Amino acid sequence: MIDEIVECFASVPEGVVVDATFGLGGHAVAILNAYPNLQILGLDQDADAIANAERLIAEDSSLQGRLTVRRVRFDSLDEVLEELSINEISGALFDLGVSSPQLDVAERGFSYRHEGPLDMRMDQRSQLSAAEVVNNYDESELSRLIADNADEKFARRIAKAIVAARPITTTTQLAEVIVAAIPAPARRTGGHPAKRTFQAIRIEVNKELEILERALQIAIDATKSGGRVAVLTYHSGENRIVKRVFSDSERDANESTHASPYVHESQSGVRRTRRVRAPKYPSSKEQTLNRRAKSARMRVIEKTLVEVGN
Ligand SMILES: C[S@@+](CC[C@H](N)C(=O)[O-])C[C@H]1O[C@@H](n2cnc3c(N)ncnc32)[C@H](O)[C@@H]1O
């Protein structure tokens, strides 16, 4: 959805757009190429993504001075803004989930297709890995997280099978245990039968849903008038959180008083956050080219400063 993302920042005021999930930098570079008045602050918690970004900057002089990167989890955005003395941003982009290199490199342990260690850490410095979740969580915790993080209806059976098969050391061994726990007729629909459980474990390892709300709120708070926050989600857990945070912001904008940064237009107020776009779905062309795009949803809100005379 690169064109939609680029277009979404066409109207934002000049300044810094935060790319909270830099990855390979595809979106960030497209935004920089399209809008000479914007700079990007790119965040990623993955050492490889940041090393790649630093290589990009070193090799392309047009990015120097316009692209700054930091290796942090995106809920530390407020600290990075403070460090860089950035008071307000022009917008932010969150392209959630894993990157292609994380999925494709077997040693990262994200993929049920390639044999690798049970890792799944986006941030290689963190303590919690998939091996810990798979081999040490109790059955009820496993069952709950598989159900909650991936809407997997066979969560209890899968959790039971995982506990019975411990110790599990590789991704493919885990995938086999999951597949065997799912009734044969259900294995034939809905993609690879281990996909949802791998997603659920990855979300637990990286605390993906726990930190999303705070990160979005920091971004919305820091966004200046006319700025936009855009989020690409890939599954229902993320989607629910983004919908809730955006609609809470919209409601706060309509209900709050002068004490809040969000004040309704009809009061003497100033700032108002509102949703400007319904979710977008990828084009059918993109769905054919990119399997991951199939489940993508794009949500955008814009923050406006409303001048009210006396
Ligand atoms: C889907 S990819 C982003 C792809 C990127 N938009 C591009 O054009 O290449 C997600 C990236 O965000 C990073 N990421 C995910 N959650 C994060 C978080 N909470 N904090 C920082 N980085 C995160 C991942 O490490 C991964 O590199």
Q: Residues 59-87: what's their mean pLDDT?
A: 97
pTM for the full model? 0.91
Same structural domain for residues 194 and 246? Answer: no
Query: For residue range 8-35, what is the model confidence (pLDDT) as tens digits?
Result: 999 999 999 999 999 999 999 999 999 9
Which residue segment(s) compose the domain that 60 sits in? 2-99+208-305
Distance 23 CA to ligand 1 centre (A): 5
pLDDT at 310 over 50: no
Query: For residue range 148-179, what is the model confidence (pLDDT) as tens digits?
Result: 999 999 999 999 999 999 999 999 999 999 99
pLDDT at 289 over 70: no
Distance 123 CA to ligand 1 centre (A): 10
Give the pLDDT confidence score for residue 282 in this predicted structure.
67
Choosing from 175, 204, 233, the residue where a domain stops is 204
pLDDT at 46 over 80: yes
pLDDT at 115 over 50: yes
Same structural domain for residues 147 and 107? Answer: yes
CATH number of the domain residue 301 falls in: 3.40.50.150
Query: For residue range 220-264, what is the model confidence (pLDDT) as tens digits?
Result: 999 998 899 999 999 999 999 999 999 888 777 666 544 344 333
Closest to 151 measured CA to CA, from 235, 94, 219, 210: 235
Query: For residue range 77-102, what is the model confidence (pLDDT) as tens digits?
Result: 999 999 999 999 999 999 999 999 99
Q: Residues 116-128: what's their mean pLDDT?
A: 98
Distance 165 CA to ligand 1 centre (A): 32
Q: What is the 3-state secondary structure (H, E, C) of the chain?
A: CHHHHHHHCCCCCCEEEEECCCCCCHHHHHHHHHCCCEEEEEEECCHHHHHHHHHHHHHCHHHCCCEEEEECCHHHHHHHHHHCCCCCEEEEEEECCCCHHHHHCHHHCCCCCCCCECCCCCCCCCCCCHHHHHHHCCHHHHHHHHHHHHCCCCHHHHHHHHHHHCCCCEHHHHHHHHHHHCCHHHHCCCCCCCHHHHHHHHHHHHCHHHHHHHHHHHHHHHEEEEEEEEEEECCHHHHHHHHHHHHHHHHHHHHCCCCCCCCCCCCCCCEEEEEEEEEECCCHHHHHHCHHHHHCEEEEEEEEECCCCC
Q: Name the residue type at position 27.
A: H
Q: Which two tokens stand for residue 185?
A: 């007729």
Distance 189 CA to ligand 1 centre (A): 29
Same structural domain for residues 92 and 106? Answer: no
Same structural domain for residues 197 and 232? Answer: no
Same structural domain for residues 212 and 93? Answer: yes
Same structural domain for residues 222 and 285? Answer: yes
Residue 282 domain flag: yes
Same structural domain for residues 168 and 213? Answer: no
Distance 39 CA to ligand 1 centre (A): 18
Choosing from 204, 222, 257, the residue where a domain stops is 204
pLDDT at 276 over 70: no
Q: Which two tokens stand for residue 176?
A: 């086999």
Q: Which protein residue's CA is at the shortest distance from atom 3 of ligand 1? A: 23
Q: Which residues contact 246 (CB under 8 A, 6 or more apart)?
A: 216, 275, 299, 301
Choosing from 187, 204, 221, the residue where a domain stops is 204
Residue 310 domain flag: no
Give the pLDDT confidence score for residue 304 in this predicted structure.
79
Pocket of ligand 1 (CB under 6 A): 21, 23-27, 43-46, 49, 73-74, 95, 97, 99, 122, 211
Closest atom of ligand 1 to 99 CA is: 2
CA distances (Å), origin 303, targets 92, 93, 226, 253, 264: 12, 14, 5, 10, 12
Give the pLDDT confidence score for residue 259 in this predicted structure.
39
Among 43, 120, 122, the mutation site with the greatest number of ligand 1 atoms within 8 A of its Cβ is 122
The answer to whether 28 and 42 have CB atoms below 8 angstroms apart is: yes
Residue 280 domain flag: yes
Same structural domain for residues 222 and 269? Answer: yes
CATH number of the domain residue 122 falls in: 1.10.150.170
What average pLDDT does the chain have?
89
The answer to whether 228 and 301 have CB atoms below 8 angstroms apart is: yes
Same structural domain for residues 50 and 174? Answer: no
Count of domains forming the chain: 2
Same structural domain for residues 69 and 40? Answer: yes
Same structural domain for residues 183 and 107? Answer: yes
Same structural domain for residues 152 and 81? Answer: no
